[in-house]
Structure 1
Amino acid sequence: MQYPSAVPDTGPAPDADPFPGLVGFTAALRAAGVPMTTDRVAAFTEALDTLDVTSRTQTYWAGRLTLCSDPDDIRRYDAAFAAWFDPAQGPRSPAPGDRPPPPPTLRSLMPARDRGAESGEDEEEDDSPVVRATATGAEVLRTRDLGELGPLEREHLRRLLALLRPDPPTRASRRRGPSRHGSPDPRRTLRAALRNEGEIGALYRRAPTRRPRKVVLLIDVSGSMEPYADALLRFAHVVVRRSPRSTEVFTLGTRLTRVTRELRQRDAERALREASRAIPDWSGGTRLGEAVQAFVDRWGQRGAARRAVVVVFSDGWERGEPDLLGRQVQRLSRLAHKVVWVNPHAGKEGYAPVQGGIVAVLPHLDQLLAGHSLETLERLLAVMRDA
């Protein structure tokens, strides 16, 4: 196979944004059978920030060294790379004995004194500082406040949110399944004995299985939460798509609105459009107490919140009575397995829970978390998984 190191470097124009093509390339690799994780994609983008993203050779080796973890992945990676970056040529089968040349960028990335020592040549000492590591755009964006992002940064954030792969929380089920440890399984043991002419050759065992735990997301879409509402709904879309049968999403404002059906659609943009049409009080007032009461009365007591992980996204600004909100969250805590309140302002320096709504609900919460950045949302996924 003709590897990219032997092909002239061709790539997008210097002024073009290469990120959409790189994200599409990782999606093509996933479709080709190469396992894609958030860590590998982040390492891929970090490598390209260090190298020249317009160079086809450096792009090839950056992806091969960060996205491939198995010998079989290399064959799939080569085919996908050829098909994606050179559609007219298409993938070709490697010739017998054809071996890839070493990455040409490894030597160019070495400091000058190390290259001289390797070749045995004496070179003049270079006193210029050597940059060992640089922060990638994706890494910086993970810690930025979601309410302060510009249009291009929000577009980048949408792609990063789409790469999240949350692990849904689970709970013990009453059903029992095969296991190496646990109580004896008489039925399987006797069936095996009947197949062996009545001789018991092995003692089979069983143990309780795990099933998904219900998750309820209550998102405040009032005026004070408008800078965060779009990102939070996209986060909810990722969670719903991961566990559509065990996840419910509601919006809180002047009324309660269920948007689970809209967010179950595969396409994120279409799901957000449908959800925005279904929300009549977007960027309106805040009546958290009445909205939470409506959820507990109509949905929570009927099973939606029983033994569920309930996550409330709100800054706690309440126009109604804070005592009403406190009583309803107390009712909710009695039904739910865990109640987590996510406040976008909780992660900012100098924050103190002095808002009337936060003060009223704080005694009834299991955790109060920050939710102002992508990093804090990833931490929330870990809290939900460990619940």
Structure 2
Amino acid sequence: MARTSPATPKDTGEADGDPLLGLVGFTEVLRSAGLPVTTERVAAFLEALDTLDVTSRTQTYWAGRLTMCADPDDVVRYDMAFEAWFEQADGARTRVRDERPPPAPKLASLAPHREGEEGEPEEQDGPEIRATATGTEILRSRDMAELSGPEREHLRRLLALLRPEPPSRLSRRKRRSRHGEADPARTLRSALRNHGELREIRRRDRSRRPRKVVLLIDVSGSMEPYADALLRFAHAFVRRSPRSVEAFTLGTRLTRITRELRQRDSERALSAAGRAIPDWSGGTRLGDVIQAFVDRWGQRGVARRAVVVVFSDGWERGGTDVLGTQMERLSRLAHQVVWVNPHAGKEGYAPVQGGIVAALPYLDELLAGHSLDTLERLLRVVRDS
């Protein structure tokens, strides 16, 4: 079936043949690209084109986008398939709407053109589009510092969907259980109710309680590309377990932001936290700030038997001796100390920063924290602590 395409501008003339025949073939390309193309959607697409001007590239674009795309992730696939199908004769591609932001790379590159003797691309029945991963899957592994505006907005929605599971610990209190040690008191009371006849052994076992989690987030200038995402991560954690999770920011001073992050709406919570942080995007005095945390909060119970997570790249403006001493104190108080460095997951990284070198002997884990995947791995480490 010969392929025809509408003219790019409306005033460039009519396409040869019946344009609807080529558009039916276009729906097959959309199906191969991974869009949920059904008979009903094709009928709706053709019905929309019957109402609109089929020779207008813009109207054809929007007719297909509104009838063929089931969710936002389908838009990028649709855009790439549309541009490949309706490309100009000379091989140059033009965007349907120049004001639209460039899409995230959700599909593999189109199959390369096979050049003829004169270097012109040969005609094909339809472009081969190979779907490799969705936008969400690709976004999970992307460095948060390199995301575009729309990608950051998508990441914020994904962070809001996180459901962190806090770690747990054995409680001193015991509860009823089918397994475990015998419960003499309950067994005796049961026998007395049965006129002294011992019919069964009642048992008890130690219950589990949520273990405290402390999040220390570096908001200095070197951590600015990651600070917004890390605060949203902290908001999801605090909202999930408001009684057992504490959040602080580190910079030139220590700021407790737990109360601000307990708000339900993430935007209001981050706005309130931003107003409470006086040293946003400033310098870093990790040693002094960790000392302030241990003296004012850690020794008073916040860090005792808790999982402490430090989000920082390890750049220390002051001396590293103070940081090493305070990390040693913190490690004696906490159940586990985890350091999350956004640069640790990058190729060629080595822990040579002064702060990391000073803190490394007292860490239980050194993790990467530059992407959504690494933050989800952190959640698993904290859960299993």
TM above 0.5: yes
Conserved? CA contact 1:305–1:332, under 8 Å = yes
| Match status 1:269 vs 2:267 | yes
Q: 1: distance between equivalents of 2:75 and 2:336?
A: 41
Q: Deviations over 1:236-266 (max 9, x none)?
A: 0011011100110000000000000000011
Match of 1:299 among 290, 297, 306: 297
2:335 corresponds in structure 1 to 337
List aligned pairs for 1:16-165, cutoff 5 A.
Answer: 134-165=132-163
What amino acid is aligned across from residue 214 of structure 1 in structure 2?
Answer: K
Query: Matched residue of 2:199: which SS?
Result: coil
State how far apart, in whole Å, the 1-side matches of 2:146 and 2:318 are: 28
| Correspondent of 1:198 among 196, 199, 218 | 196
Pairing partner for 1:356 from 354, 357, 362: 354
Could you tell me which residue of structure 2 aligns to residue 320 of structure 1?
318
Q: Shift of the alpha carbon at 1:179?
A: 1.5
Contact in 2 for aligned 1:314/1:341 (Cα 8 Å): yes
Q: Distance in 2 between matches of 1:273 and 1:256?
A: 18
Q: What SS class does the counterpart of residue 257 from structure 1 fall into? A: strand
Q: CA shift at 1:197, angstroms?
A: 3.0
* Paired letter, 2:180: G
Q: How far apart are the structure 2 equivalents of 1:319 and 1:167?
A: 35
d(CA) in 2 for partners of 1:320 and 1:222?
Answer: 14
Secondary structure in 2 aligned to 1:310?
Answer: strand
Tell whether the 8 Å contact from 2:219 to 2:280 is kept in structure 1 after alignment.
Answer: yes
Supply the AA of the counterpart residue of 1:183: E
In structure 2, give the amino acid aligned to 1:148.
Answer: E
- Runs of 4 or more above 3 Å deviation: 4-16, 48-53, 127-133
Question: 1:184, 1:136 → 2: CA distance?
Answer: 54
Q: Residue 251 of structure 2: which of 253, 264, 268 is its match?
A: 253
Asked if 1 retains the 8 angstrom alpha-carbon contact of 2:65 and 2:78, the reply is no
Distance 1:130 1:204, change over 3 A: farther
1:233 aligns with 231
Name the larger-Rg structure.
2
Letter in 2 for 1:330: E
Q: Distance in 1 between matches of 2:206 and 2:39?
A: 54
CA deviation profile, 1:125-182 (whole Å, cap 9, x unmatched):
xx99987752000000000001111110010001111111111100000010112221
1:350 and 1:49 mapped to 2: Cα distance? 36
Task: Give yes or no for contact 1:50–1:134 (8 Å, CA) kept in 2.
Answer: no
CA deviation profile, 1:23-58 (whole Å, cap 9, x unmatched): 9xxxxxxxxxxxxxxxxxxxxx7xx689989xxxxx
**Which residue pairs with 1:185 in the alignment?**
183
Structure 2 residue aligned with 1:385: 383
User: Which moves more between the two structures, 4-13 or 358-367?
Assistant: 4-13
CA contact (8 A) 1:326 1:360 kept: yes
Structure 1 residue 354 displacement after superposition: 0.8
- Equivalent residue number for residue 365 of structure 2: 367
Separation in structure 1 between the aligned mates of residue 140 and residue 309 of structure 2, nearest angstrom: 21
Q: Distance in 1 between matches of 2:157 and 2:197?
A: 59
Is the deviation greater in 213-222 or in 196-205? 196-205
Q: Distance in 1 between matches of 2:143 and 2:342?
A: 9
User: What are the superposed Cα offsets for residues 48-72 of structure 1, whole Å, 9 maximum, x if unpaired?
Assistant: 689989xxxxxxxxxxxxxxxxxxx
- 1:60 is aligned to none
Residues 73-132 of structure 1 show CA distances to partners (whole Å, capped at 9, x for unaligned) of xxxxxxxxxxxxxxxxxxxxxxxxxxxxxxxxxxxxxxxxxxxxxxxxxxxxxx999877
Which position in structure 2 is the counterpart of 1:207? 205
Aligned letter for 2:378? L
Please report how far the alpha carbon of residue 192 of structure 1 lies from its aligned counterpart in structure 2 after TM superposition. 2.4
Local SS of the residue matching 2:272: helix
Which runs of 5 or more residues in structure 1 are unaligned? 24-44, 54-126
Of 178-187 and 192-201, deviating more is: 192-201
Distance in 2, Cα, partners of 1:147 & 1:133: 26
The Cα RMSD (Å) is 2.9
1-side partners of 2:39 and 2:189: how far apart? Answer: 61
Matching of residue 278 in structure 1 with residue 276 in structure 2: yes
For normalisation by structure 2, the TM-score amounts to: 0.69
| Aligned-partner residue type, residue 230 of structure 2 | L
Q: Is the Cα–Cα contact under 8 Å of residues 65 and 75 in structure 2 kept in the other structure?
A: no
2:165 corresponds to: 167
In the TM superposition, residue 195 of structure 1 has moved relative to its aligned partner by 3.1
CA distance in 2, matches of 1:223, 1:51: 37
Q: Which runs of 5+ in 2 are unaligned?
A: 1-37, 49-61, 80-124
Of 201, 219, 222, the match for 1:221:
219
Q: Which residue in 2 is equivalent to 1:105? A: none
Normalised by the length of structure 1, the TM-score is: 0.69
Percentage of pairs with the same residue: 72
**Residue type of the partner of 2:219?**
V
